[in-house]
Structure 1
Amino acid sequence: MPWVRLDDRFPSHRKVALLSDRAFRLYVSALCWSSENLTEGRILEKELPLVARIRGHKTAAAELEAAGLWDRAEVGWVIHDYLEYNPDRAKVQAEREANAARQQAWRDRKKAEREAKRNGDRNGVTPTPDSAPDDTTDARRRHDGDTNASRSGAENQSSSQVNEFRNGVSNAAPSRPVLPSPSEKEKEDVSKTEGQPPGASLTHIGDRPRIPTNCEPLVAALSANDLHVGWELAANEWLLIEALIKRCGIPALVTSARGSWQGARVQPRSGRYFLPAWRQLPDAVAPGTPTLAPVQTLTGTDARVAGWGAIAAKFAAEDSA
C-alpha cells in the first residue's frame, strides 16, 4: 500500500497557512487520491467531485491554483512537485509485484512444510508381523480360532491413524482362550489305559510330539482325509481327546473336523482348533440300540385331507356292515 509523504512543517508553510478550510481539505484529499489511483499527481476536472466531498470544489481548486499548489493542465490540474516527494506509477507497481511474490513464496513454503509434516505422520513405517523382532516364523499366518497361533506384531504400537479409546482398536495380542479341562474320572480312565499317573505329561518324547496310543487312530483318520495339523498338545488336552473318542467315536470326530476345516478362513495349524466343535458333539449311539421313527405331524391342507379320508373310511365300513 503506497503512502503519501507530507513534511511535518506542511501546515505552517506560507502557501498552506493562508488556505481556507475547504481548500486545505481538497489539497490533502487530492494527495491521497493521486497516491491511491497512481495518477502521479494529475487531477482531472471531472473527477474533482470524487476527490473531496466539499461544497464549492471548483472555487477551492481555483484557490489552490492561485496559491501555486496546483498547476493548471489541459483537462484538469497537476499537484505541484508531486513526483519529487512521492514515487511514480512504475516504482509503486514494481514494489507491489515484489511484495506479492514474496508473500506467495512464504505461503508456498509454509504449505510445503505442512504437507511434509502431514505425509510424515501418515507414511510412518511400523514393524510388520513378518519383521517384528520377537517373531520366530517368517511366514506365520494367523487364523480365527487357532489358539496355537500367536500374534507376531509388536504390542501396543502407536499410530497417528488409530485412537484406541475413540475407535475401539487395540494392538495388544489377544488372550488365549481357556479350554475346558476333562473331568477327574476321564483322567483316571485314560491314566489306567496308559499305565501312567493322572496328569502325567503326554506331550513330547525328546524333540518330537508324542501321540497317545488311544489317539493314534484319530490322528491317522484325520491325515487320511487330508486334514494335516500339528499335535503339540498338553497332557490335559490329550486326555480330553481320548474322552471324546470314547464318547463320540472317531467317524463323528473326523466329520466334525472336516466341517471345521472347510469353514475356516485360514487353514488350521493345530489339532487344538477342532476341540471346541468336538465338545459340542452328541454321544455316539451304541450298536444294536433301536431307533424310533420320527413322528410326522400333518398341518394345513395335508391334515384336512387326512381327516376327510378317515371319515370316508368310517362311512365305507358302516355301509359294508
Structure 2
Amino acid sequence: MAWFALDDGFDTHPKVRKAGNAAVGLFVRLGVHATKHLTEGHLDGDIVRAYGTAPTIRKLITVGMLHEPGHGCPRCPQPADGDYLIHDYLDYNKSRAQIEAAREAARKRQQRGRESARRNANPRGIDDVSRSNRSRNDADSDANRLRNDPLFEEEPAGQGDVSRRDTHEGATGVPSPPLPSHTSGADVVEGATGSRSRAETQPEGCAPIDFDGGFHVSDGLRRWAHRDGYATLVDLDHETAQFISHFRANGQRRNNWNDEWQKWIRRAHKWAAERRPASNVIALPGQPLTGTDAKVAGWLALSEQLRQNGDPA
C-alpha cells in the first residue's frame, strides 16, 4: 500500500488558502488516485473532470497546484494532451520504481518469515520428515507382504499350543465366549478381604459353562459377603437373580464369573448405602423409624444393651 504525502504545513500554505476548501479537497482526491495507480502525478483528463468541477480545476491550475499541457513550470514535465499533472509530485512522493521495489522487498521478508516459521515448527526439516514417512510406509508394506506370504505363519499370542479356535478342526461358526459355571465356583479364603479374596485356584478354563444350568453361589462366596458386611444391605439371592438375568439378556461373557458376581454385590451394596437415609435412630423390631418415640426407644434399647454387657455407663 502506498501513501499520498502531505507535509504538516500544507493546511496553511498560501496556495492552499488561495485555492479554497473545495479545490483543496479535489487536489487531495487526485493525489490519492495518482498514488494508488502509480502514475507519478500524471492524471487522465477524464478522471480529473469526473472528480471535480470546472471552477475547482481552474483554481488548482491558477494557484499552480495542478498543471495542464503547455504549463511554464521548469521543474515539472509536460502532461499528455487533455491530461493533467500534480505539481512537484515526486518531490514529496515515491516513484513507481521505488514503490514496486519496496513491495518486492516486503514480499521477500514475508516469505523468509514463513520459511522460518516452518523450520521452527519442524526442526528436522521437511525432507527429513518425508524420508521418515517413506521409511515407515516401506516397513508397513514389507510387513503386509510377509503377513500375506503363505509360508509365513504367526503363532497364537499368549498360548503354548494352538487352540481349537485357531484351527478349522472343531470350529462351528462363531466361537462362543466363556459362560458362568454352576458347578465349579471358587471358594473364599477365610480371613481374607477385598475383591481378590479367593480360596482355591480357579479351575482351568475359569467358567465356560452355560447360564442355562443356573449360576451357583458357593458357600465361600456367601461367607465372603457376610464377613465383609455386604449382606447387611444386600439381598444375596435377589441380587444373584438380577445378576443372572442381566448377563443372560445381554449375552455378555466373562472369564471369571465369581469375580464378576463379587463386583456386582459390592456395587449393589454401594448403591444401597447411598440410598439409605442418614439417621441416629436404631431400628427396633416392629417399630417404625419415625418420630420422637422411635428415637427415644432406640436410645433406651442401646442403654439397656450396654448395661447388660457390664458397661458402667
Fold match by TM threshold 0.5: no
Greater relative contact order: 1 or 2 (C-alpha under 8 angstroms, separation 6 or more)? 1
Normalising TM by the smaller chain, what interval?
0.3 to 0.5
